[in-house]
């Protein structure tokens, strides 16, 4: 037997998986190097057979929790202007879409789109429902357009700017109240 094979058999014997014990014993009787290795492996194995258990001190949990309680709470502040910027963009987009829907070009496009009567059954039901919704929206847009023709442009622009300003103030107040509630909880 060679020393490499003996080394493998020594590991198997330490793990209690060895089958052929006589050939390893014969080799250990004739090889001094493997005998020294076998003695060293047995000593190391005995060290790990019964390792000393290390437990934390009895008051370890209490000390850790006391230190955690002494730490200051993290302060997380969100910039309110960042939230207001998002609301402002949203409101500005809604106003621009509203003005775009009221433009004569869009109203003319809605009118130019063909329309059949509302049919509740058949393969064209979805298209007919779309055309019916179009006629309802078109009627609302015509009503709004006819009302807006009587309102002078400066008054209309002033009204929209005032509404935008009031919505911005409302969002700012709600944001401030929300941030105060968050600070009170922390």
Q: Quick one: tokens of 34? A: 């493997």
pLDDT tens for 17-69 read 766 678 888 888 899 999 999 899 888 888 877 766 778 888 999 999 999 88
The pLDDT of 166-178, averaged and rounded, is 78
Is the CB of residue 138 less than 8 Å from the CB of residue 111?
A: yes
Inter-residue contact 6 to 27 (CB < 8 Å): yes
What span, in angstroms and rounded, lies between the C-alpha atoms of 7 and 1?
10
Q: Answer positive or negative: Cα dihedral of 88, 94, 95, 100.
A: positive
pLDDT at 162: 86
| Residue carrying the six token digits 């309110």 | 80
Q: At what angle do helices 104-112 and 125-148 cross, to 10 degrees?
A: 150
Q: What percentage of residues in the chain have a pLDDT greater than 90? A: 10
Q: In the predicted model, what is the mean pLDDT of residues 115-119?
A: 45
For residue 108, give the 3-state DSSP assignment.
Answer: helix
In this prediction the pTM is: 0.29
Kindly report, residue by residue over 145-158, the tens digit of the pLDDT.
Answer: 777 777 777 877 88
């Amino acid at each position: 037997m060679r020393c490499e094979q003996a080394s493998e058999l020594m590991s198997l014997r330490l793990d209690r998986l060895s089958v052929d014990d006589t050939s390893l014993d014969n080799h250990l009787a004739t090889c001094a190097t493997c005998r020294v290795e076998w003695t060293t492996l047995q000593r190391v194995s005995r060290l790990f057979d019964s390792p000393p258990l290390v437990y934390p001190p009895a008051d370890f949990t209490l000390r850790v929790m006391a230190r955690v309680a002494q730490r200051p709470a993290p302060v997380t502040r969100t910039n309110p202007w960042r939230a207001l910027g998002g609301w402002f963009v949203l409101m500005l987009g809604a106003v621009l879409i509203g003005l775009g829907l009221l433009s004569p070009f869009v109203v003319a496009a809605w009118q130019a789109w063909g329309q059949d009567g509302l049919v509740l059954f058949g393969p064209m039901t979805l298209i007919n429902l779309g055309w019916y919704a179009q006629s309802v929206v078109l009627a609302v847009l015509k009503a709004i357009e006819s009302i807006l023709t009587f309102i002078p442009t400066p008054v209309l622009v002033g009204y929209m700017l005032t509404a935008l300003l009031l919505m911005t103030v409302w969002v700012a107040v709600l944001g401030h109240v929300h941030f105060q509630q968050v600070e009170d909880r922390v």
